Amino acid sequence: MNTLILAFAGLGAVVAIRLLRSTMDFISFHLFPGSHTLDRYQRPGNTAWALVTGASAGIGLGIAQELVRQGFGVILLGHLKDEVEAAAAQLRAMRPPTDDNSNDDDARVRTYVLDARHATPSDLSKLVATLSTLDLTILVNNVGGNAVEHPPFRPHGTYSCADVDAVIDQNARFMARLTALLIPLLARTKPDARPTASRNRSLVLTMSSGGYIGVPYLVMYSATKAFNRGFGAALARELALDPSTAHVDSLVVIPGEVASQGNCRGVPASAPRWDVFGREIVQKAGLAVARGWKEMFPHWRHGAEYALMGVAPGAAVEKALAEQMKAKKQAWDEYLGKNE
Ligand SMILES: NC(=O)c1ccc[n+]([C@@H]2O[C@H](COP(=O)([O-])OP(=O)(O)OC[C@H]3O[C@@H](n4cnc5c(N)ncnc54)[C@H](OP(=O)(O)O)[C@@H]3O)[C@@H](O)[C@H]2O)c1
């Protein structure tokens, strides 16, 4: 009897310590993330560059804004020339004027027009050749969405083969191919910038989604976001095993609801805006990697929601998920009914 009580007490203590630790981690991560946590991916003389895919709007643009603020050169990749150029002009205007009025600062924001859904291996080779002349230290695999014919929220049984392929091409194929081709560039080292545990490193950031758990009316989107999550975690473990790539970090970003160009209907009022969320990603990524995490919820509310889902009764979680997705579907159906 005494042994049984002791065993339960021991188990309770272990659970309590784990709960306390994760609560402390949560509080310190969201309240005291520190500043300039991407310093480890900068290079002497601030020569480092970041490629952000899907960067003309939404979270990608928000990430690019904060990277520019932190002194990184950025290459904005998007599929529509006018939109990506407009985003670049906005970023250039953010930079404080230099004393000598040189164009150097403007040149630190570049654009690259490429359609993630239709990019061929030869298109990707051209992109890699362009990037090979730069000190590329950050790849942000951001481009993604639900690239199906309207309406966007509908049962999988209504998908055409083209719908299925479009989501795989945009969310999974493009980022997997691009990352494979860019790892050799990210892993390059220079004699004046030898990597250490906290300096001269490189980073692959991959956007997953809270939808990775599998949500109704977005079966392909959910599945590809689970792919992104597994991809980023596997990559982190693999890169760490090889001394020639151990200084390249990989971190998965898991957003919940974020108000953006793509996610603009049926979005809860509590959702952060794309620019706030993009800033949170950049400000917290270095800290998450330093803690040895393979993934992070940059926004406190998303982290809390997912932690709650882990302990709430399963039936309540299923009901809340179904209601949330029905509301989003209805918002889109109503909008399209009025406008198409
Ligand atoms: N917003 C959310 O609530 C949320 C939640 C979970 C995960 N995420 C993930 O976060 C990432 C960004 O989401 P977001 O909501 O910010 O997206 P968004 O507002 O739809 O913006 C997507 C960006 O990608 C560009 N783009 C679209 N199709 C492209 C293509 N075929 N090739 C190249 N660029 C293309 C868009 O350019 P155009 O403006 O020219 O179309 C835009 O700049 C995605 O991976 C998404 O799955 C978002």
pLDDT digits (tens, 9 = 90+) for 64-100: 999 999 999 999 999 999 999 999 999 999 876 555 5
Domain count within the chain: 1
CA distance 331 to 337: 10
Tokens of 261: 């160009």
Q: Compute how many other C-beta atoms are within 10 angstroms of the C-beta atom of residue 323.
A: 10
Instruction: Look at residue 23 and tell me if it is in a domain.
Output: no
From the CA of 5, how far away is ligand 1's center (Å)?
54
- Residue 280's region, left for phi above 0, alpha for psi from -120 to 50, else beta, is alpha
Q: Is residue 266 part of a domain?
A: yes
Could you list the beta-strand ranges (E) of 256-305.
295-296
Q: Which domain holds residue 267?
A: 32-339
CA 280 to ligand 1 center in whole angstroms? 17
Q: What is d(CA 183, CA 94) in angstroms, rounded to the nearest whole number? A: 30
Is the CB of 250 inside a 6 Å radius of any atom of ligand 1? no
Sheet (strand 73-78) strand order: 109-113, 73-78, 49-53, 136-141, 202-207, 248-253, 295-296
- Among the atoms of ligand 1, which is closest to the Cα of residue 55? 43
Let me know if residue 115 belongs to a domain: yes
Going 325 to 295 to 235 to 131, the CA torsion angle's sign is: positive
Q: What is the DSSP letter of 151?
A: P
Q: Is residue 313 part of a domain?
A: yes
Q: What pairing do the DSSP bridges indicate for beta strands 49-53 and 295-296?
A: unpaired
48, part of any domain: yes
- Quick one: pLDDT band at residue 340, thresholds 50, 70, 90? confident
**Contact criterion met (CB below 8 Å) for 243 and 250:** no
Both tokens of 244, joined, read 């020639």
pLDDT > 70: percent of the chain? 96
Q: Assess if residue 14 is contained within a domain.
A: no
pLDDT of residue 33 exceeding 90? no
Task: For residue 100, give the CATH number of its domain.
Answer: 3.40.50.720
Mean pLDDT of the chain: 94
The CA distance from 38 to 209, in Å, is 22
Type of residue numbered 161: C
| Cα 118–Cα 122–Cα 123 angle in degrees, nearest 5 | 50
Q: Which atom of ligand 1 is nearest to the CA of 207?
A: 45
**Residues 316, 101: contact at Cβ < 8 Å?**
no
Assess whether the C-beta atom of 209 lies below 6 angstroms from ligand 1: yes
Would you say residue 102 lies in a domain? yes
In a domain, 7, yes or no: no
pLDDT tens profile 194-233: 999 999 999 999 999 999 999 999 999 999 999 999 999 9
**Residue 102 pLDDT more than 60?**
no
Ligand 1 mutation pick, 260, 274, 299, 324, max ligand atoms within 8 A of CB: 260
